[in-house]
Amino acid sequence: MSNTDTDTAPRKILVLGATSGIAEATCRIWAAEGARLFLVARNAERLAAVAADLRTRGASYVDTAVADLDDTDRHPALLAHAVNSLTGMDIAYLAHGILGDQAKAEQDFNAAAQIIYTDFMAPVSLLTWLANFCVQRHAGTLAVISSVAGDRGRRSNYLYGSAKAGLSEFLSGLRNRVDREGVTVLTIKPGPVKTAMTFGVKGSYRFADADAVAASIARAIDKQRDVLYVPFRWQPIMFVLRHLPERVFKKLSL
């Protein structure tokens, strides 16, 4: 674990997309540790419910802001307000995202652009500010949820996958830049997880449980890991998928 103050002070954690199923489960772990939390989400009612729940679970401080994170012009003011409210920041956790409608995005560039904007452009905007904040202090962890979908483009979700691929590569470069400044960048690559995003998807009963995924994420942050495949089995699966030759891969219906 790392703190900007002392090893016993509650950690100061900024959560972007705090009503996400995975983020909420992770926040429950941090609340039980007595963390200070600043939560950002766009649904005011659900955000208030999540905040109230985390207070009862032991968070030492919870503040919130309602924001559509596609509004990148608002990011600098929003983030400055968040770190001011937390009186610093040890961890920024980026969890917001959309799966989008792949079939629609194949026909309609506006639908494709929406996926790219929410899943790539908005995180790049947030991370630009957050990385510079951390570099100035030579401390901090930027934990960002990308996806195994970004490891290789597949016909079933290549718009979402390409946005996440861009995000994973951005994080790789950012890590390479800020590691020497004492800043940790964790790229989180979940396989399918049971959350609102995958509700009703065929076979979703077999998907990973959000609480188990959250526990792995919290551990990876504590250990200052670089990349996390979660559940772990997705690491060898994606290794194989990434290395399949195109002449084989293009015949598969994935």
Site string for ligand NAP, 68-107 (x = CB under 6 A): xxx------------------------xxxx---------
**Under a CB-based contact definition with an 8 Å cutoff, are residues 40 and 51 in contact?**
no
Distance CA 254, CA 248 (A): 12
Distance CA 182, CA 175 (A): 10
Site string for ligand NAP, 22-51 (x = CB under 6 A): x------------------xxx--------
Nearest approach in angstroms of CB 50 to ligand NAP is: 9
- Cα-to-chain-centroid distance, residue 28: 16
Contact set for ligand NAP, span 175-214 (CB under 6 A): 190, 192-193, 195-198
2 touches ligand NAP by CB under 6 A: no
The b-or-e profile of 176-215 (16+ CB within 10 A means b, else e) is eebeeeebbbbbbbbbbbbbebbeeeeeeeebbebeebbb
Catalytic residue among 61, 117, 158, 160: 160
Number of residues that bind ligand NAP (CB under 6 A): 25
Which 3 state secondary structure label does DSSP give 241? Answer: helix
**Closer to ligand NAP at the Cβ: 20 or 216?**
20
**Closer to ligand NAP at the Cβ: 40 or 86?**
40
Rg (CA), the chain: 18
**Closer to ligand NAP at the Cβ: 36 or 189?**
189
**Closer to ligand NAP at the Cβ: 117 or 249?**
117
Distance CA 93, CA 116 (A): 19
Q: Which residue stretches of the chain are H helix?
A: 21-32, 44-56, 75-86, 102-107, 109-116, 122-137, 158-178, 210-222, 234-243, 246-249
17 touches ligand NAP by CB under 6 A: yes
- Is 61 catalytic? The answer is no
Residues contributing to the site for ligand NAP (CB under 6 A): 17, 19-22, 41-43, 68-70, 95-98, 118, 145, 147, 190, 192-193, 195-198
Annotated catalytic residues are 160
